[in-house]
Structure 1
Amino acid sequence: MIVAALLDRAKAQGVMIATAESCTGGMVASALTDIPGSSAVVDRGFVTYTNAAKQQMLGVQAATLDAYGAVSEEVAREMAEGALHHSQAQLAVSITGIAGPGGSEFKPEGRVCFGLAADGLHTRSETVEFGPLGRENVRRAARDHALGLLSQALSSIAQK
Structure 2
Amino acid sequence: MAEPQRAKNQDETPVGGAKFLIVEARYYDSIGAMLLEGATAALKKAGATWEIVNVPGALEIPAAIVIASDSSRDPYAGAIALGCVIRGETYHFEIVAGESSRALMDISVSLPMPIGNGILTVENEDQAIVRADPKQGDKGGDAARAALSLFRLSQRGNA
TM-score (norm 2): 0.53
Aligned to 1:20: 23
Q: What is the CA RMSD across the aligned residues, in angstroms?
A: 4.5
Alpha carbons of structure 1 residues 31 and 138: separation in structure 2 relative to 1, 3 Å:
closer
Question: Could you tell me how far 1:10 is from its partner in structure 2?
Answer: 1.8
Aligned to 1:10: 15
Task: Kindly provide the amino acid, as one letter, of the partner of residue 139 in structure 1.
Answer: A
Task: Kindly provide the amino acid, as one letter, of the partner of residue 93 in structure 2.
Answer: K
Distance 2:118 2:46 in 1: 29
2:86 equivalent to 1:81? no
Structure 2: give runs of 5+ residues left out of the alignment: 1-7
Alpha carbons of structure 1 residues 103 and 144: separation in structure 2 relative to 1, 3 Å:
farther
2:129 equivalent to 1:136? yes
Partner deviation per Cα, 1:38-84 (whole Å, 9 max, x = no partner): 69622321232x2xxxxxxxxxxxxxxxxxxx544xx4322222343
2:97 equivalent to 1:104? no
Partner deviation per Cα, 1:126-148 (whole Å, 9 max, x = no partner): 79774325231343454144123
Structure 1: give runs of 5+ residues left out of the alignment: 51-69
Q: Report which structure shows greater RCO (CA 8 Å, sep ≥6).
A: 2
Count residues with an aligned counterpart: 132
Alpha carbons of structure 1 residues 127 and 135: separation in structure 2 relative to 1, 3 Å:
closer
Question: Could you tell me how far 1:107 is from its partner in structure 2?
Answer: 0.9
Alpha carbons of structure 1 residues 124 and 43: separation in structure 2 relative to 1, 3 Å:
closer
TM-score (norm 1): 0.52
